[in-house]
């Protein structure tokens, strides 16, 4: 069986995103769809003394109706310094801060022109750090339609996939009959977020992956390995 998953590559995604990549045979970054405002495409959350804080990459206007791989980053404001200062203040006492943060900061300081390039550079670093070796591709490498389900089925078919793994949210929009017609098995994952050591009080789930890495270091990959993506 050849399992495929397809997701948009966000900014410093949470650990669930990386568990999804780890759990399939081939992962496709959905970079050719329309940029979605208020999504995780250009932002994520970190943990602070006051709860959580958004770190957001500002974008050049207009972004309306632009595809994710066409959106440019704005450097009119020094957001890299802002993100760095915020992360330093809230994670400087994390056990593995110095082991990972300075490489992440180096990638930020390369000042990628396009958001997709920044996101994928960071994701590539996180994949290597977490020892995830799943093959990855981009949806822009395929000829696909605009319809949500047809797009997924066409990518799977071109990859000779026998199974597509969808997020649980896919139940609200996926036309399951199209997968059945194409003889591609459709499975919905059921991700249950694990707890791990955090700073700043009670555990809060769905933080950026840097929260896991800076707090747990080399143990991060073991924490991912223990997650059952198909828990009942």
User: Does some domain include residue 127?
Assistant: yes
User: Does some domain include residue 193?
Assistant: yes
The pLDDT value recorded for residue 37 is: 87
Structure-token pair, residue 100: 């990972």
The pLDDT value recorded for residue 6 is: 97
The pLDDT value recorded for residue 99 is: 98
pTM metric for this prediction: 0.96
DSSP one-letter code for 60: P
Structure-token pair, residue 150: 């047809």
User: Does some domain include residue 166?
Assistant: yes
The pLDDT value recorded for residue 231 is: 64
DSSP one-letter code for 208: B
CB 80 within 8 A of CB 122: no
**Which residues on neighbouring strands pair with residue 5, listed in sequence order?**
27
Nearest to 59 by CA among 81, 36, 31: 36
Q: Based on the structure, what is the number of domains in the chain?
A: 1
User: Domain residues for 45?
Assistant: 3-225
Walk along the chain (232 residues) in steps of 10 and give the mean pLDDT of each run: 95 97 97 93 97 98 94 98 98 98 98 98 98 97 85 95 94 94 96 96 98 98 94 60
User: Does some domain include residue 232?
Assistant: no
The pLDDT value recorded for residue 232 is: 55
User: Does some domain include residue 231?
Assistant: no
Nearest to 120 by CA among 170, 165, 71, 164: 71
User: Does some domain include residue 230?
Assistant: no
Structure-token pair, residue 109: 């300081």
CB 25 within 8 A of CB 156: no
User: Does some domain include residue 79?
Assistant: yes
* Packed helices 15-22 and 209-216: angle between N→C axes, nearest 10 degrees: 90
DSSP codes joined into one string, 68-118: GGGPBBP-SS-HHHHHHHHHHHHHTTSTTHHHHHHHHHHHHTT--SBHHHH
The pLDDT value recorded for residue 144 is: 80
Nearest to 7 by CA among 29, 23, 35: 29
User: Does some domain include residue 104?
Assistant: yes
Per residue in 36-65, is it b (16+ CB within 10 Å) or e — as a string? eeeebbbbbbbbbeeeeeebebebeeebee
């Amino acid at each position: 069986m050849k399992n495929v998953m397809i997701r948009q590559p966000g900014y410093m995604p949470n650990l669930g995103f990386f568990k999804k990549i780890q759990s399939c045979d081939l992962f496709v970054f959905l970079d050719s769809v329309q940029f979605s405002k208020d999504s995780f495409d250009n932002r994520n959350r970190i943990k602070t003394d006051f709860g959580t804080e958004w770190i957001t990459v500002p974008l050049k206007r207009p972004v309306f109706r632009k595809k994710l791989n066409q959106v440019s980053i704005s450097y009119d404001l020094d957001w890299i310094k802002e993100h760095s200062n915020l992360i330093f203040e809230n994670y400087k006492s994390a056990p593995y801060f110095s082991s990972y943060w300075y490489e992440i900061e180096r990638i930020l300081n390369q000042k990628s022109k396009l958001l997709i390039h920044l996101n994928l550079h960071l994701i590539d670093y996180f994949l290597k750090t977490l020892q995830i070796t799943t093959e990855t591709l981009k949806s822009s490498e395929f000829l696909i339609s605009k319809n949500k389900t047809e797009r997924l089925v066409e990518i799977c078919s071109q990859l000779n996939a026998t199974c597509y793994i969808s997020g649980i949210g896919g139940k609200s929009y996926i036309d399951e009959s199209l997968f059945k017609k194409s003889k591609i098995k459709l499975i919905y994952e059921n991700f249950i977020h694990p707890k791990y050591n955090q700073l700043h009080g009670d555990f809060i789930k769905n933080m950026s992956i840097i929260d896991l890495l800076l707090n747990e270091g080399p143990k991060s990959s073991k924490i991912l390995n223990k997650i059952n993506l198909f828990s009942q």
